[in-house]
Structure 1
Amino acid sequence: MFDWNDLKYFIAVAETGSTLAAARQLRVSQTTVARRVAALEREVGLHLFERRSAGYALTPPGQAMLANALGVRDAAARFEQLARAESRDAGGVVSVTAMEIFALTVLPAILRDLRTAHPGIQIRLDTSDELRELGAGAADIAIRCSKRPAGAGLVGRRIADSGWTLYCSRDYAALHGIPNNREQLARHPFIGGGGALWEPYQAWLRQYRLEESVVMQYDSVAGLLAGVRAGMGLTILPAFLADREEDLVRCLPPRNDDITGVWLLTHERVRHVPRVRLVLDFLARELTRIARS
């Protein structure tokens, strides 16, 4: 099989009539042009040019092959134009669904950098507690904490492991200490709520029989984070996010049965749409970097 790149040397010599003129056109040496044309002739087993003192003239086989070579060149040019068009089309709206706690912790900086790198992309961020169905087009991309995401046609990757465990603020720890067993936990106030976080949180409190220790409940993650940061008490948070909050201190290691995955998902229907692919790859790279930091 001949080298496809040799066709451009063949065409240049055919159009200019000499290896010198072709070399100037292609901005390479005359020797390179002559060598590549000779290599093409060897590979196809044809004499494409007659070497004359006045230059190169196409042989009948060369004339017959030129039309096909020009067709390859034109097809390559169309391919490049389509690729550039696809690249330009890597703009528009991409909908991302994620738990609210992601939007309050790691996502703002990531989306800021995405905007800087790709100003044509507009992100529509959905932080509803309701699980959005990607297959039905409710969102293009999902960031989920789950042991194993369910849903037909989902594709993606597990970015990191993340257990749920107990946190307090640094100021709270300085005043009241960091509890590290059940007896000590019973002497500390707990902040409850957090929307979608409340279900795993309730399970954790039931295990340690600490339901009566909840002194305040928020109906959103924003309130829950505000409460724990202010030193109101202790709360349960996903370690992947809370471990990276400078104001927070982990009190206990996660339980093994509380280990979930941080998943980045899309649906096979949109996985190759340029703007979705671009955002998916950007999120994967940045979330992986955070997981390894």
Structure 2
Amino acid sequence: MFEWSDLRYLLAVGRTGSTLAAAQITGASQSTVARRISALETALGLKLFDRLQNGSRLTDQGQALMTQAEAVEAAILGLEEMARQAHRRLSGVIRFTMAPEGADPVITGPLSEFMRRHPDVRIEMLATETYLDIAAGEADVALRSGAPPTDPRLIVRKVDELAWAIYGSADYIARHGAPARPQDLAGHLVVGAEGRLDQLPQMRWLAGQADRYACRVSTMSSMIGMARAGAGLALLPEMNADPHPELVRCLPNAAPATQVWLVTRQDVRQAPHVRALIDFIYETVRAPPRRSVAAG
């Protein structure tokens, strides 16, 4: 059986009429070209070239094989072009999961832009408080907050560290004043957390500072709503709270920042459309100077 790669030397010598010119085209040495042509002739049991003083000339057998080699070359070039087109025009379905409160313009903006650029990619948003099992195939890509997943089957990429601050409504601040130091929270009504939200490091930090709770809620949207209504101060991600003009930011960066991660698994990561989405989110979400996401 001959080496498929030797066909390129047959084509080069057949088109140029010499091993020297073929060497220049292929980037190989003249001796390599001559050796590969000899190996091809031996493997096929055919004489492909007549060696002349001023070069090499195709025999009838060589000419017939040259025609077939050109067809192989055309097929290979066609495959390469198909691969390039597939890379340029991504397609497929991506199941993307995060917490419901993370499905805001921080993420939906980049996702919408990605789908605009790649109309054949469909993203199924699985917004749920429950952590879907990426390793088991319940979703393809997740945006997660907190400590990075440690499952060795997962590929984890850090997006950013997101800032938190204490917020209160303008009305509440006018009535009770703004805390200047974390220890001042002990004199204020605070909107507390319960359920999974209460397990966040930021809420544990808040519990060490505050002692008067106006209420406890289980979702970030409820916490924002209570703070906007003037029920008390709330510890909120800056990007989730800053769009609300009635909220006044206090004590920026007092609470620990949240690390946010993109999570997928190895077999999914190899898919061009998934890899492109992860790269796109990484470049767009991490770019703004101050942002926050409720990740799931």
- TM-score > 0.5 by shorter chain: yes
Amino acid at match of 1:268: Q
Percent of aligned pairs sharing the same letter: 29
Q: Is the 8 A contact 1:191 1:217 kept in 2?
A: yes
Secondary structure at the residue paired with 1:197? helix
Equivalences, count: 269
Q: Does 1:279 align with 2:267?
A: no
The gaps in structure 1 that reach 5 residues or longer are: 19-32
Post-superposition offset of 1:269: 2.7
What residue is the counterpart of 2:225 in the other structure? Answer: 226
Structure 1's 40 and 251: CA in aligned 2 closer, same or farther, altered over 3 A?
same
Structure 1's 12 and 45: CA in aligned 2 closer, same or farther, altered over 3 A?
closer
Q: Which moved more, 1:183-192 or 1:98-107?
A: 183-192
Structure 1's 221 and 243: CA in aligned 2 closer, same or farther, altered over 3 A?
closer
Amino acid at match of 2:259: G
Structure 1's 254 and 219: CA in aligned 2 closer, same or farther, altered over 3 A?
same
What residue is the counterpart of 1:151 in the other structure? Answer: 151
Equivalent runs, 1:1-293 vs 2, <5 Å: 7=8, 11=11, 42=30, 44-46=32-34, 58=58, 63=63, 66=66, 70=70, 73-74=73-74, 76-80=76-80, 82-83=82-83, 86-87=86-87, 90-162=90-162, 164-169=164-169, 177-182=177-182, 184-193=184-193, 196-200=196-200, 202-210=203-211, 212-214=212-214, 216-229=215-228, 231-239=230-238, 241-242=239-240, 245=243, 247=245, 249-254=248-253, 258-290=256-288
Give the TM-score, by structure 2 length: 0.68
Structure 1's 172 and 95: CA in aligned 2 closer, same or farther, altered over 3 A?
farther
Secondary structure at the residue paired with 1:159? strand
Structure 1's 99 and 62: CA in aligned 2 closer, same or farther, altered over 3 A?
same
Distance 2:290 2:221 in 1: 26
Distance 1:155 1:76 in 2: 33
Post-superposition offset of 1:154: 0.9
Post-superposition offset of 1:81: 5.2
Q: Is the 8 A contact 1:194 1:221 kept in 2?
A: no
Give the TM-score, by structure 1 length: 0.69
Distance 1:152 1:38 in 2: 44
Q: Is the 8 A contact 1:129 1:195 kept in 2?
A: no
Distance 1:65 1:175 in 2: 92
Distance 2:220 2:231 in 1: 15
